Amino acid sequence: MSIVLFSLIALLWAEEEQPEPYFFEPFEDDSIGTRWIPSEDPYYNGTWVIEDRLVDFLEEGRKGLTMTTPKTFNGISCKSMFTADASEFVVQYEVKIQEQPVECGGAYLKIINQDYEPRSFNDSTTFAIMFGPDRCGSKNKVQFIERIQNPKSGHWAEHSLAHAPQALWDNYTHLYRLVLTADQRFEISIDGKVEISGDMNEEGMFEPPFEPPKTVADYSVKKPDDWVDEAEIVDVNDTKPEDWDEDAPMEIRDPNASKPDDWNEDEPLYIPDPNATQPADWNEEEDGKYEIPMIENPACESHGCGKWEAPLIPNPNYKGKWSPRMIPNPDYKGPWAPPQIPNKNHFIPQNLHVFGQLYGVGIDVLALTPHVLFDNIYIGRSLIQAMEIANDTWVPRHEAEMLDKKLNEQKQRKLMRAQQWSQFKAEPTLGGKAAIFKDLVLDLFADNWAIGVFICGGILCLIIFCCTFLCRACSRVVKTEVNPEGEQSSSPSEESTETSTEEKKEESPSETSTEESKAEEKSTPEQPIKDEKKDKEEEEPAQPRKRQSQSPAPKKGGKKPRRDQ
Ligand SMILES: *[C@@H]1O[C@H](CO)[C@@H](O)[C@H](O)[C@H]1NC(C)=O
Ligand SMILES: *[C@@H]1O[C@H](CO)[C@@H](O)[C@H](O)[C@H]1NC(C)=O
Ligand SMILES: *[C@@H]1O[C@H](CO)[C@@H](O)[C@H](O)[C@H]1NC(C)=O
């Protein structure tokens, strides 16, 4: 219902004249060095190019902005002045990670809010918005940072979305979109699917929150000298008990132990090694007199030797040093903290979607793997317009990519089935054959589910048919045997209900299966886009596509907005 309503609104809206976007860059020509100026800051050692995608399934709009050198920092910007003060603020662009895998790197944009020299664009060039995918190790997110100025203190602060959604790093073209609205809400979507949305002033949504704290600590107030912040004091009335022996040792010899009977105190623990002989090369003048090495007395292995002593055990009378006990301090005032006073820099953030004067788009990212491609960068005041652009640029490419993905997967499965089939033929046991056959059939159905439904439906019908036939035959036999005359009259009505349900069951599966086989026919490679489009419309309610089909000749202006300079 809401979708229908929304598409209706979108339709009406789209009929109206769309405002010019603030900025739109489809990268149709090579504008490196003219519009897009690489930073000359020595920190950036990567090279930027505008070139065709490495893999593409479309003939139109193949080019994008990409960096070509691995393991580099890359900075580039397009200076373009505009004022963003409308009731909606939209950033949208496409990213294609052409080379895998990306372990660390960014693909985010910065919307610059200071007048600057493009050749010296760098990390310290200030931005109003930073938005887009960022990844390093286990950290993976769609960054959204907004910088705002405190009107009271003049201080600028960066506010980051606390629970940013995960970005996608496969090699398909993905559409990232940020929408800010006048009711102080934001929405981030990937490929037209909303990943997160909410109130920008909601607690915990941004870190730090846009609204500064209402009160602050007054550090001009010092802790009073007489402030008591010891929670416990020594109990002066506590005295050491009479029987407390501070000198009692921790361990004592076990008084209950006694020397074992076979303990021989006369036997030495160590004896000279009886097998030792003076080495042949021993030189008494150099090495000194030869001494026979001592070894452990083997006689001590079976019984104890040497002087016997009782083993050490913990002393039950050990108490250690006595100290008086602690008691709560009656004068305790709690930990001291400076008093809270109203924050003179507090303000209620408003118009988080309005940015005043902006100066263009910058990209300032690390690229360990090259060929991260940017395309169709849109900054404007209309979600509908952004959707229209996406429908013209991203949607057809996405559809072509998804179709390619599907065909690739099918091809893979076909290869696997061929392998399974040869396994099946080679398998000696019947059980093994059956298992492989089952996998094979299930897989075949997964690829050609219309056939699967058709065959399953057919088998089901056959079973139902056989059962009813058998039951009827049985009941007739039973009835004629048990009750030759009576009850016969009720049987025709029973039979008629049975046949009617049977007919229904037979009808429905065949109906669906014909529809499905039609659908299957459509997805043959000759008409690839059409079938995918059907799916796409359900996935992304980007209604302007519907509008297109109604107005066969869309206005050129609406389709490809003029590039902002
Ligand atoms: C670029 O600079 C970084 C850091 O200075 C360095 O680690 C990297 O190897 C450099 N890459 C190239 C291609 O020069
Ligand atoms: C993704 O990468 C694979 C392997 O490198 C390639 O075969 C495929 O065509 C790529 N797909 C896209 C959409 O670029
Ligand atoms: C020694 O044995 C007696 C009697 O069994 C016992 O009461 C006493 O606690 C023992 N002494 C030690 C230090 O274990």
Maximum pairwise Cα distance, the chain: 135
Q: How far apart are alpha carbons 253 and 79 in whole angstroms?
A: 88
pLDDT of residue 304: 83
Cα distances (angstroms) measured from residue 71 to each of 98, 225, 365, 370: 15, 59, 11, 8
- pLDDT tens readout for residues 132-178: 999 998 899 999 999 999 999 999 999 999 999 999 999 999 999 99
Q: Which of residues 328 and 550 earns the better pLDDT score? A: 328
Q: How far apart are alpha carbons 431 and 435 in whole angstroms?
A: 6
Lowest mean pLDDT among 293-302, 351-360, 482-491: 482-491
Does the pLDDT value for residue 357 go beyond 60?
A: yes
Does the pLDDT value for residue 550 go beyond 80?
A: no
CB-based burial label for 512 (10 Å; 0-12, 13-18, 19+): middle
> What's the gap in Å between 72 CA and the centre of ligand 1?
5
Q: How far apart are alpha carbons 547 and 14 in whole angstroms?
A: 8
pLDDT of residue 511: 44
> What's the gap in Å between 316 CA and the centre of ligand 3?
10
Amino acid 23 reads F
* Band of pLDDT at residue 259, cut at 50, 70 and 90: confident
Please tell me the residue having the least CA distance from ligand 3 atom 3: 256
- Ligand 1, residues 73, 104, 368, 369: which to mutate, most atoms within 8 A of Cβ? 73
Q: Tell whether ligand 2 has an atom less than 6 A from the beta carbon of residue 392.
A: no
Q: Tell whether ligand 2 has an atom less than 6 A from the beta carbon of residue 173.
A: no
**Cβ neighbours of residue 56 closer than 8 Å, sequence gap 6 or more:** 62, 397
Q: How far apart are alpha carbons 372 and 94 in whole angstroms?
A: 10
pLDDT of residue 497: 44
* Band of pLDDT at residue 471, cut at 50, 70 and 90: confident
CA-based radius of gyration for the chain: 42
Q: How far apart are alpha carbons 559 and 61 in whole angstroms?
A: 13
Does the pLDDT value for residue 128 go beyond 50?
A: yes
Residue with tokens 């559809």: 399
pLDDT of residue 479: 60
Lowest mean pLDDT among 449-463, 484-498, 524-538: 524-538
Q: Which of residues 243 and 355 earns the better pLDDT score? A: 355
Cα distances (angstroms) measured from residue 329 to each of 233, 237, 539: 5, 14, 68
Segment (H or E) for 54:
none
- Ligand 1, residues 71, 122, 123, 366: which to mutate, most atoms within 8 A of Cβ? 71
- pLDDT tens readout for residues 15-27: 567 789 999 999 9
Q: What is the mean pLDDT of the chain?
A: 83
pLDDT of residue 440: 81
Query: Does the predicted model carry a pTM greater than 0.75?
Result: no
pLDDT of residue 243: 86
Lowest mean pLDDT among 152-161, 168-177, 362-371, 464-473: 464-473
Does the pLDDT value for residue 10 go beyond 60?
A: no
Q: Tell whether ligand 3 has an atom less than 6 A from the beta carbon of residue 256.
A: yes
> What's the gap in Å between 257 CA and the centre of ligand 3?
10
Q: Are 80 and 359 in contact (CB under 8 A)?
A: yes
Please tell me the residue having the least CA distance from ligand 2 atom 2: 171
* Band of pLDDT at residue 111, cut at 50, 70 and 90: very high
- pLDDT tens readout for residues 186-215: 999 999 999 999 999 999 999 999 999 999
Residue with tokens 């004091």: 233
pLDDT of residue 549: 39
Lowest mean pLDDT among 62-71, 406-415, 506-515: 506-515
Point out the ligand nearest to the CA of residue 315: 3
Q: How far apart are alpha carbons 129 and 113 in whole angstroms?
A: 9
pLDDT of residue 220: 93
Residue range 275-293: mean pLDDT, rounded: 85
* Band of pLDDT at residue 5, cut at 50, 70 and 90: very low
CA angle 128, 129, 134 (to 5 degrees): 145
Q: How far apart are alpha carbons 533 and 503 in whole angstroms?
A: 36
Q: Are 361 and 53 in contact (CB under 8 A)?
A: no
Q: Tell whether ligand 3 has an atom less than 6 A from the beta carbon of residue 314.
A: no
Residues comprising the chain, all counted? 565
CA dihedral 354, 357, 359, 364 (to 10 degrees): -40
Residue range 517-525: mean pLDDT, rounded: 42
Q: Tell whether ligand 1 has an atom less than 6 A from the beta carbon of residue 43.
A: no
Per-residue tokens: 473: 């035959």
Segment (H or E) for 30:
none
Question: For ligand 2, what atom is nearest to the CA of residue 172?
Answer: 13
CA dihedral 464, 470, 472, 476 (to 10 degrees): -170
Q: How far apart are alpha carbons 98 and 63 in whole angstroms?
A: 13
Q: Tell whether ligand 1 has an atom less than 6 A from the beta carbon of residue 518.
A: no
Q: How far apart are alpha carbons 372 and 541 in whole angstroms?
A: 28
Q: Are 126 and 156 in contact (CB under 8 A)?
A: yes
Q: Are 129 and 23 in contact (CB under 8 A)?
A: no
Q: How far apart are alpha carbons 165 and 368 in whole angstroms?
A: 22
In this prediction, what percent of the chain has a pLDDT beyond 90? 54
- Ligand 1, residues 45, 73, 74: which to mutate, most atoms within 8 A of Cβ? 45
Q: Which of residues 280 and 406 earns the better pLDDT score? A: 406
Q: How far apart are alpha carbons 432 and 430 in whole angstroms?
A: 5
Q: Tell whether ligand 1 has an atom less than 6 A from the beta carbon of residue 45.
A: yes
pLDDT of residue 16: 62
Q: Tell whether ligand 3 has an atom less than 6 A from the beta carbon of residue 311.
A: no
Q: How far apart are alpha carbons 237 and 488 in whole angstroms?
A: 108
DSSP reduced 3-state for 95: strand
> What's the gap in Å between 32 CA and the centre of ligand 3?
94
Q: How far apart are alpha carbons 500 and 468 in whole angstroms?
A: 12
| Cβ atoms within 10 Å, residue 317 | 10
Half-sphere exposure of 233 (CA within 13 A, CB side): 10
DSSP reduced 3-state for 287: helix
Q: Are 25 and 78 in contact (CB under 8 A)?
A: yes
What are the backbone dihedrals phi and psi of residue 144, each rounded to the nearest 5 degrees, phi first?
-140, 110
Does the pLDDT value for residue 329 go beyond 90?
A: yes
Q: How far apart are alpha carbons 398 and 57 in whole angstroms?
A: 9
CA angle 140, 145, 147 (to 5 degrees): 160
Amino acid 343 reads N
- pLDDT tens readout for residues 30-84: 999 999 999 999 999 999 999 999 999 998 889 999 999 999 999 999 999 999 9
Q: Are 118 and 37 in contact (CB under 8 A)?
A: yes
